[in-house]
Structures are given as structure tokens and as C-alpha cells.
Structure 1
């Protein structure tokens, strides 16, 4: 474990040998298909592999102390709230209360946990192609364990928020890549959040795929360059086409490629 963590640290610090530069989304669309190796896919959980059920605005309001505090946090965060970051500097008693509120909302979500349409089929497709599957979530390990047990699909590694630092820091994705012995530019990060999933993937040097079921983020080309994913889909079913059209789906080899 220690050598892997040291490797992830070297990658974060830029000490590792430079990896091939990734194409931008626009350049990729013009490139010949099958020219990019893919050996691993890392998924977000809530809202990606599972149907979103947590009322996050209500949770944020209760944690922060009402509408006014929530509005201030949104303004400070450019329209979004990173609740875990918000409470990091609080006093221990305040943090304890905040985590109790978060745990209650998350437990309510677990009680009605549902698999996202297309998730099982996509995982079966990756398994058939011998493509590794990992998971990174800001939810707790209990939620990950329940997900594995309830739906019978395993992701390894599966990192919860007990792994620090968590998304959007690239550390968890780099840790998974080092565990797999696969460089980040042969991995795709799939998630429903620009600020967490896409930013994590881009900072790590992986390809990124945004799941936007409702179109809340608008057209792909309208997204700011610093958070623009390589791909944008409206369902997990569309990920099949993205992978087959834009990547050489090569099985994992035993030797290290980092």
C-alpha cells in the first residue's frame, strides 16, 4: 500500500515521467476511432450508478443553519456548495452535528436506493471486454457496501469519503490508477458532477464523461474549458457508444504501464 501511495504522491507532484498529452473533446471527434487505449473506467456512485434520491439543498440548509447561510455558501462557491469542504474548519462539536445531519439524509437515501438504468448492462459490457471498474464517491463506506450487496456488482477499488483527500482532488483517482498499474490517460472517469467528477478526472489526466440526464448543464460546447468533459451523455446507455467509437478497448495486461 505504501509504495502505491508514494506513487500517487509522485504523480500529484509531477515527479513521474510525463504522460502522453490528451486530446481536447473537439480534437477527439476528428481523430480516427480506436486510437486511444482504454483499460479502466471509474464511476461516481450517487446520481451515476444509482438514481439520485437525496435532497441535497434541504441537507445543505439544515447543516448550514437555514436559507440565508445556504445562499451565502452558494454565492461563495460560484453557485454550488461543497458541504464537506464547508465544515472542515468547524469546531469538533459543530462538525459532529453536521455529520449527523448528513448521515441522516444519506440513510434516507439508502432506504430507497435504486440502480441507474443501464448500469448493470454497462458493467457486463466492461467485464466482457476485461476493462477494470472502479468507484469513487463522497458518500460513506456503508453506502458503498450496501450498493455492492444489493445490486451484486463489485467495483475495485471502491473509495468512499473515508479516503482523503476526496473529489475533486485527483488523489483518489490516481490511487486507483496506481493500484491497477494503469496510467490515467488509459482511464475514463464517469460522473454526474462537473465540479467533483469531471474536475477530479481532468486534474488526474484521465478522460472524462459527464452524465447529464436532465440537461441541467446545457450544451457541451457551452461549458467552461476548465470543466468541459471530453464526452457528455444523457444516459449510461450512451456510454457504450462513446467507448466503442472513441477507444481501443484493450484488456488489462499484467505488467505495469506507469
Structure 2
């Protein structure tokens, strides 16, 4: 396991697939949407391979059954509002905090790290989810998918956070679970640690060559230098 010899001045953390397993709620809403469209349910196994790029993309993937195809515009225009209505009511009912997350966050705060949350999820869903799991107080900044002009894998959200904290990107760390997090971190000049349990479209995150892969956020205490 790689050790980061310097204490990062800033740690940004992804939400879905890193802090919270939101797939159960997303699956419920996708399948409810599909039922309204008189189409068969997708099921959790497939939805797990589709999440990570925002709900707009999730709906497109549900309609096409693929990662990259474009759905029929008329069907998408019908489906997307249906999904939003369901997800507004079912953001937190089935989702769960991953084991070790709270302990990892507590260690980071106790050791003086400045924390931000950077997600592709829209603010209208991000904020209730963080509040439901009592995570808001850990983060001095939350950047949602609609906070700045571009989402991950664009580096823009990470660079926005670095500017907000007045921190050099080279002294910053991203903690995520997907290739989007890796691409964003590399483009922004951040170090990147990935969780082994995340989504990443069903692919092994090790293949994206992050700086480290860990099984629990508790392991951050083994990688990072404590401030004291």
C-alpha cells in the first residue's frame, strides 16, 4: 500500500459508491420509471453498472440498456421527469452508509484535514442524502453535479474546490470509486485514492491505476500523515 509522505492540504471525497451505496434507491426509481413506460425492470445488478455520471445519464442508460447509446429523444423527454419525481421521494429510503465511512471521516477531521464532497449528483438530491446520514458537518464545501458548468471527469469541480480553499492542486487528494474520479483527479493534478467496493461500471478500479486502492475509509489512517 502506497503511503503519501506529505499531509494533503485538501481532501475531496466522492458521494455515490464512496460514502454511500445509493444503488438500492436508484434501482427502485429506475424500475418504477420503467413500469410507467410499460417496460420491464432493469434490476439492481444492471443499475450498479450504470451509475456514476448523474441521473440524466442513468435514465439514458436505462432506456437503451447500454453505457453509451443515445435514447429516443421523445421517450427520454417522457422518462426523465418520471424518474425525477420518484427519486425526489425515494432518495434515502434504501441507501446505506458504507462500513468504515464515519470512522474514516472522524479520523480525517480529528487530524486537521479540510474536507469537501464532490459528486455528479444534482444538489436537490445530494443535500438531502448528506443530511439524512448526518454527513453535512464533515464538509466545508459540497460541489454537486450542477454547482459548476461541468461534471467529473472534467477537472473543473476539483479545481473549483482547490480555488475555494486556496490550495495548490498538487497538494490535494481526491477519494473516489470510479474512472471518472481518476480522470478528474489526474486532469486537475490531484492525487487519487479509490475504494475497491465502488461502482465503476462493473470494472476493476485497479485497471485505472489510481495512486492507491483501499477497502475501507478507515485505511486512510494508514496512508496519510496525521497532523499531530
Give the TM-score normalised by the residue count of structure 2.
Answer: 0.70
> 171, 178, 185: which one pairs with 1:201?
185
Q: How many residues align?
A: 201
Partner of 2:12, secondary structure, is: strand
Q: CA RMSD in A?
A: 3.7
CA contact (8 A) 2:177 2:205 kept: no
Larger Rg over CA atoms:
1
In 1, distance between residues paired with 2:20 and 2:50?
A: 21
Task: Summarize the Cα distance change of 1:174–1:99 in structure 2 as closer, same or farther, 3 Å threshold.
Answer: farther
Deviation at 1:94, TM superposition (A): 3.9
Deviation at 1:93, TM superposition (A): 8.4
In 2, distance between residues paired with 1:192 and 1:57?
A: 22
Task: Summarize the Cα distance change of 1:208–1:95 in structure 2 as closer, same or farther, 3 Å threshold.
Answer: farther
Q: Which residue of 1 aligns with 2:100?
A: 118
CA contact (8 A) 2:17 2:198 kept: no
Gaps of 5+ in 2: 43-48, 61-69
Give the TM-score normalised by the residue count of structure 1.
Answer: 0.63
In the alignment, is residue 38 of structure 1 matched against residue 38 of structure 2?
no
Deviation at 1:84, TM superposition (A): 3.7
CA deviations on 1:121-164 (whole Å, 9 max, x unpaired) are 11111111111111111212133222332233332311111122
In 1, distance between residues paired with 2:186 and 2:15?
A: 18
CA deviations on 1:77-127 (whole Å, 9 max, x unpaired) are xx9685746969986984463253255357434222322221111111111
Q: Which residue of 1 aligns with 2:130?
A: 148
1:155-174 to structure 2, matched below 5 A, reads 155-163=139-147, 164-174=149-159
Task: Summarize the Cα distance change of 1:96–1:44 in structure 2 as closer, same or farther, 3 Å threshold.
Answer: farther
In 1, distance between residues paired with 2:205 and 2:80?
A: 35
